Chain A
């Protein structure tokens, strides 16, 4: 646990933090609002006393009532991992600014998070589904997605051809407009 880092963070982001700075084992954790993300991350990346220049991970979290996006960043100035939690995204329309301006490498991680949680990263210029087929309707890692309704148990044995011939925007409508064979 790196106490100086904690004090540094508390002094620098006093107005941004929505919760106390937690420290456990070798991790330091701060919580911010999604609006402040770009500002905070830019400061973390650029300022020499912080200088968190490696984005280790980007994870989406669906706590049953709201959503979070969790960033792990690493810096040579501290032995700790810094965990930045952008908290309080509404589940019905989760939106958060994209980090691709700061770390272009975050693009695919954001695509994955969008694919799994439906979190929309504003500013990501390639926010497609990356794992599931483009017309896949649901977001698997959400907590209201239960395993028994997986594709492998559908009547067709989950066989799906390579590129669906329907646009993803119509996918939900398509589900409604199913014509059932006699």
Chain B
């Protein structure tokens, strides 16, 4: 998802009337490292919102509930579009629901935690119930990389390679203390203190090793994360956000 180095301002037209300028691809360059991902905003040229602030990034027009009730926004259906940043979002929800219900882990275990990872997939506590089986042997077909066990400096390269070989969208679960923080081998000369030095981690499952139930809980949390990637849907601005202190 390409965007300008200075994030969302350039992607959002100052004036909605000159919308197509935003769609000018020449203004899109590669993301600078460490830049925050901002959604590409489809400039609305067909109708003016009752809450232009939502498009200009200045926040809701109403800060108090009484102003909202005083206005006629609640009577019209245009209010529900008030704060949406991206218009075609419902399809993404469906896709996320699909993805969260079939998370195929990669069949790769590093050390002790691998045994508990296998135990989480076996009869007693059955990970397959959430569609997290079969373990794919090839990283090309896996969705989740469960890093189970101590990561050594010699294994770091191959693990990065596995992570790069997995096709997007992919997620990483750090299982065990060694992968979360270095664990009991933090002092060693050949281990890496936590895999978040190497790759982005979505869910940490501490424990040495964590029980299979712990891993399953982490995977369910990952599913929730996949679903709520863009924020919690029910709160997604049916009406403008109202501060808590009102």
Contacts and interface: CB of A to CB of B under 8 A. Distances in A.
Interface residues of B, number: 18
B192 A159 contact: yes
Contacts of A140: 189-190
Nearest to A150: B189
Contacts of B187: 147, 150
B160 interface: yes
A150 B198 contact: no
A157 B182 CA distance: 12
What DSSP secondary structure best describes chain A's contact surface?
Answer: loop
Interface string A141-157: 00001010111100001
B157 A150 contact: no
Contact of A151 (B157, B160, B186, B190): B190
6 contacts: A149-B189, A150-B191, A152-B188, A152-B189, A152-B191, A158-B191
A14 B197 CA distance: 58
B192 A157 contact: yes
Contacts of A149: 189
A59 interface: no
Contacts of B191: 150, 152, 158
Interface of B: 153-154, 156-158, 160-161, 182, 186-193, 197-198
Contacts of B157: 159-162
A161 to B, nearest CB: 4
Given A132-B190, A147-B187, A152-B192, A160 B154 contact: yes
B158 A162 contact: yes
A40 B208 CA distance: 46
Interface of A: 131-133, 140, 145, 147, 149-152, 157-162
Contacts of B189: 140, 145, 147, 149-152
A152 B161 CA distance: 19
Indicate the member of B154, B158, B197 with the most A CB atoms within 10 Å: B154
Minimum-distance CB pairs A-B, first 3: A150-B189, A161-B157, A157-B197
A151 B156 CA distance: 12
Given A145-B189, A158-B191, 4 more contacts: A131-B154, A152-B191, A160-B156, A160-B157
Contacts of A158: 153, 156, 190-192, 197
B153 A160 contact: yes
A159 B153 contact: yes
Indicate the member of A151, A157, A158, A159 with the most B CB atoms within 10 Å: A158
A77 B102 CA distance: 62
B158 A151 contact: no
Contacts of A145: 189
A111 to B, nearest CB: 15
A145 B190 CA distance: 13
Contacts of A162: 154, 157-158, 161
Nearest to A162: B157
Nearest to A133: B154
Contacts of A133: 153-154
A162 B186 CA distance: 21
A68 B158 CA distance: 36
Contacts of B197: 157-159
Given A157-B197, A159-B197, A150 B158 contact: no
